[in-house]
Structure 1
Amino acid sequence: MEAKWLEDFLSLAESRSFSRAAHDRHLTQSALSRRIAALEAWLGAQLIDRSVSPIRLTSTGIMFRGQAAEILRGIYAARTLAHGHELVADGVEVVRMSVVHPLLFTLVPNQLRQIRAELGHVKAKVQAVNVPDGVRAMVEGETDLFLAYHHPHLPIVLDPNRFPFLSLGSERFIPVSAVGPNDGPLFQLPGDSAEPVPFMAYAPGTFLGNVVEMLLLNASRPCALQRVFETHLSEAVKAMVVAGNGLGWLPENSIAREMREKSMTFAGGEQWTTQLEICVYRSSDTQNAAADELWGWLAKSAASNHP
């Protein structure tokens, strides 16, 4: 059996048309028909009822459709794992990096370019994570470096003796809104209880969501906010705010262009802002020489930023 036979079958099961499935699969109709027939011969069962139009799956075909999708998912996953293993086996020095989503759009692209220029033999394999998944990956040895925000009131729970960290800098976390009349914010803190400000919120329990709650609890005056949108992703908050749907909090580096182009503006006083430290963590138990080298490079970079 060949994986492409399964892909052909799933395409045909979706379209219920040999001509449409052949077009989608970039095949002639006769070639697709032969491959479906080959799959049926291999299985020893008929999957397609060709006596009706549009065609339909037989009872065996209906049962096999889910199995075919599951088999393909396993094949694709195996290829991904094998490719990652092949990189290491062929002598390429790979560093596994877990990065929280906001930093994936701001700090990491430039950092990877510098790594490629200065440490060309070291390859970074980057995965976007939330903070709990990044911590778990560090503890379970599934990643070499973990790049995340840190706040002293909301520390990441990793033993510093086992998981040392470097500070790579900091940025402000600020409330922002789309620009309204007279270049002012369309929505502004603290809001009015008679007409609460629509709030683009982070999901409960997320790191940035906890930072927002900390700011609101410690502010000198209450805010009138109506939670009308909720997400795990800062990019989703950004898109909603730029579109004029409400007010939200974002890391300042992630909205530098929008602030410069005046499609977004500051929407509250300093009492509703805080500094987020950018930290990179590693395990003291790692045996990855490439991770050791990259850690040293990051340490030098951090030292130059904090003379």
Structure 2
Amino acid sequence: MDTQSLQAFIAVADCQSFSRAAETLHLTQPAISKRIAVLEDQLGTRLFDRIGRRITLTEAGRVLHPRAQSILLAVDDSRRALANLNGQVGGRLSLATSHHIGLHRLPPLLKRYTRRHPGVELGLEFLDSEQAYRDVLDGRLEIAVVTLAPEPHEQLDVVPIWTDRMRFVCAADHPLRHAASLTLGELCRHASVLPGPLTFTRTLLRRRLEDEGLTLEAGMSTNYLETLKMMCSVGLGWSLLPDSMIDNGLVKLDVATPPLHRPLGYLVHHDRTLSNAARRMIEELEQARDAGNRATFTEQETTP
């Protein structure tokens, strides 16, 4: 049972397609079919049912799937551990971040990192924070720099780096613009544009509303904060955005509720051996956290 056959098996199972699996692994479809056939021959059982164009796992395939993932993760982990012995910082670093963090937090850090470690091939992906969590858990990613989940996960090491102060906002010509003060209940009676219901940011708001016995169904939603900002600025509804995104096109609303904050940071799987490239990235992130802490302390000292 070789790792190439297992990789092909995982790709077909996840894509539910031989052709899409071939594209994912940059192989031809006949090559994928041959690897699956070799694996089925070695195991003496069929792993996929092929009914028309539909590909589904057999019972044997369902049993093999998590074990194949564990085998590939163990092999990958061993390779990293051995490569780390020479102390060199190189190879590929699989890193994911959210669009907002990638645009507003990471550029200076990534610039420093790539200059200091030119031998690293940075595999940067932009993902929703919730998907990035799943990919770190599955072992597909070494590091994710994203909005942190409201609840800890026992398999992940999660480290806060920054904090977003979240603000209720509306367009400059929105009727709420003239409200001297609002309750959450009054706010909920107006149309809103918000992150998707399963996002960590929406969960933060939902819990605050639940504390006051309120519920809210957003008229429109998207997971991209820049898109929410645009929708809000043209008057489609009020929204909840990081303080750093608010400019002349938006107005902060005075809502009678304690400030909302969302943590941003990085996460890694605590059972995974990190590459030297990943360790150096964590050093950069920790420096960013220390710089932020010093700035906060200085601001507190100078505030009368």
2:203 maps to 1:210: yes
SS in 2 for 1:170: strand
Q: What stretches of structure 1 of length at least 5 have no aligned partner?
A: 1-69, 81-87
Distance 2:105 2:118 in 1: 19
8 Å CA contact 1:191–1:197 kept in 2: the answer is no
The partner residue of 1:99 within 93, 97, 100 is 97
Distance 1:187 1:243 in 2: 21
Matches within 5 A, 1:56-205: 76-79=23-26, 92-150=90-148, 154-155=150-151, 157-159=152-154, 162-180=155-173, 184=177, 189-190=182-183, 196-205=189-198
2:281 maps to 1:294: yes
- Which of structures 1 and 2 has the bigger CA Rg? 1
8 Å CA contact 1:98–1:134 kept in 2: the answer is yes
Identity across aligned pairs (percent)? 13
SS in 2 for 1:265: strand
- Cα distance per residue 1:250-281 (max 9 Å; x no partner): 1223x14xx2xx10111233616311121111
8 Å CA contact 1:178–1:185 kept in 2: the answer is no
8 Å CA contact 2:180–2:254 kept in 1: the answer is no
Post-superposition offset of 1:133: 1.9
8 Å CA contact 2:148–2:200 kept in 1: the answer is no
The partner residue of 1:269 within 230, 255, 272 is 255
1:127 counterpart letter in structure 2: E
8 Å CA contact 2:192–2:220 kept in 1: the answer is yes
8 Å CA contact 1:177–1:188 kept in 2: the answer is no
- Cα distance per residue 1:122-167 (max 9 Å; x no partner): 343222222332222112211111112236xx22x422xx532332
2:280 counterpart letter in structure 1: E
SS in 2 for 1:173: strand
TM-score (norm 2): 0.60
Pair 183,198 (structure 1): closer, same or farther in 2 beyond 3 Å: closer
Distance 2:193 2:218 in 1: 7
Pair 185,207 (structure 1): closer, same or farther in 2 beyond 3 Å: farther
Pair 136,183 (structure 1): closer, same or farther in 2 beyond 3 Å: closer
Pair 281,226 (structure 1): closer, same or farther in 2 beyond 3 Å: closer
Q: What stretches of structure 2 of length at least 5 have no aligned partner?
A: 1-16, 28-79, 81-88, 295-304
